[in-house]
Structure 1
Amino acid sequence: MTRTEYPWLLPSAMAGPTDPEPPGAGPIGPGPARGRPRRTVRDWVVDTTLFLIAAFVGVLAAEASDRINDGSAVVLFDQLTAASACCALWLRRRWPVGLAAVLAVVSLAAPTAGGAMLAGLFSLAVHRPFRPVALIGALALLSACLQPVARPDPTMSPLGSVLAGVTLVLLAIGWGMLIRARRQLVAVLRERAHRAEAEAGLRAEQAQRLAREAIAREMHDVLAHRLTLLSVHAGALEFRPDAPPAEVARAAGVIRDSAHEALQDLRQIIGVLRASDEGDGPDRPQPTLATLDLLVTESRDAGMRVVLDNAIADPAAVPAAVGRTVYRIAQECLTNARKHAPGAEVTLALRGGPGDGVTVVVDNPAPVGEPGAVPGSGQGLIGLTERAALAGGTLQHGRTGEGGFHVRAWLPWPV
């Protein structure tokens, strides 16, 4: 958003840009200002308005000088000085400090340059910070105080002339500083609005990323288990085409059931992406520790050797979130064992109680046969570690010295 995008928001519509480029500053150092922006239509209107105001004040002062002074040389000097000072205002954007200083000195000898001097002070206060404004302002106040001595006005008392000059100088500087402050305030508010909008966008992106990661983790945990069952039984039918019809029928039934469960799980996960008012039915019940036996039975039916050592007396008493995390850890470990250690016996041990937490230990020795053809993404254990950390627990995993694999997780169980 640029400053000229919403010019009606600025109360300083009669002033030029706040901080013009320093004179002689080119794109690569001192030299001609090749990158200086050209005047816009608004700039021409503002500069012309200030020129006309200064010229009007100069004409009034020149008429007063013609009435007061008898010498034509003094009147001619005042007129030429007023014209030169008004024309110099066209340089106020490039040299506001130098122009204001020169006009403050010139107005001491030529009151007709007073209007141009006030316009220069105003432009200086708008375009420059307080320090140069204070220095040139002090010079202008000194000139206003000495002018009744250098060029006395018979129609006014010296004190009245001093008070009028000081008041006009302070008004010009104060008005310019007020406009500069408001411009800076608008710029700060716009910057803060842009920063707040950017931060809101970043927070929205982070929330979307976290939601996508959660959905991806859930899809991996759920679908990988079902699809490995499909792969195992399909592979058995492929390598044993002469199997008994009863065994073929049992394998086909498991494939059908696993495909059906995978489809249901996929529908459930996709339902998370929908709005709450677009749901077309109740969600399927989430797995808990009480359903762990069904998972083990399903794996055994697929031909795995699984030893379950569950020392938790009442699995239903485990908090739902903890039980669901334990279920997902066991599910992923069984899936990995099925893919990478076919034929190996898997031991699944559960210990814990209220206040002590739940400890899950899964071990399998080195694979008996060749690893399965189902590829692994390597993201399952990473997802389990993140899931355990989100639940307030920990998870360690790694290979044993005998070529097996060991997974140990601890999850909190509040009293």
Structure 2
Amino acid sequence: MNSSKIQARVLAVGRGATVTSFAALAVVNGAQLVSDGRYVIPISASAVACAVVLLVPRLRWPVAPIVVAAVTAWWGSIGMLLLALVLYDLAAVRRTKAAALCAAAALGANLLGYPPTRLWDQQDYVTALFIWAFAYVVGMWIGSRRRLVRALAADVEHLRVEAQLREEAARITERSRIAAEMHDVLAHRLSLIALHTGVLATRNDTLPGPVAERLALLRGTSTQALADLRDVLGVLRAPGAAPNGAGAVPAPVPEDVQQLVADARAASQATALTIHGRPEDAPTTHRLAVYRIAQEALTNARKHADGTLVTMTIDYRPPATLVEVTNPAGPPGQAAAVGSGYGLVGLRERVSALGGHLNAGPAGAGSWRLAARIPHPAGTEENGTPA
């Protein structure tokens, strides 16, 4: 059982106890005020009727205000406290006119009520007005607080849904970027196959017949595979992205990591880069992921720890590509408030798609660490070529 249900039950029990107490007090008070007990039964019946309409949620509007106001108008002080509960309920739901009408009708019509319990004869109207005003103010405060809590809960839910949508958008964007990069890489290799087989096919007169047929089949298959690849992966590009050769930025190559670090140093960002192994030891998809991780790490360091030394270690050697970037705490940069904040979400999506995992978080003493491990495909040898 959650806290909201527990709170609702506690409020229901508290309201029931309050209504029962006020009804019992009305009966006892009425028995004391009425001589020789002639009206004890009508007073008791009136108090019970008021208690019932106050406790049943469906009767609180408009039955409860009418019944309790009528009882208070006739019996006076017998229904004074019960009418206070009605005014509290009306104030909580901002029915100001109905509350004023009930109080005025009960107090005005009480002039014709039974004399021993009449508010005007006992000069209890001042007390009644004070109790009713107090109940109304408390109802206004409680109602405002409830509406504020509901509004805040709605805002929190809206922010939660918005955060989920932004995170999903970041994942989709990263998937589209991966698809675009894979399209560029595979399209280049397939086009090379088609090109070389086409060159060989022009020398059919010097090749055996079966070899020429195989070359023609290989060329046709590679060309068809290239077209299929463009059809399948091309639709996954980000909206508005142009294909390669039409103004798009080429997919990053392994040397771009070193160039990225050189550009960061030229912009006065202290960076220490250590590379183990050769980039050729890792698949192309790993090298693209390494580039994106290094780019995101340097960007975050400029935003949140400007002027600190960024230490970057990359290991391309099997059995896994390893990337680790650390930087100590520092003052936020000028671009600290710029960005969507979902770069790490995209990186995790990319690394997860390659079967690896990425960790980012504090590393002690206020420093920050971003580390990724991407396992190499099965059958990869030390030199990075298929077994």
Q: State the structure with more CA Rg.
A: 1
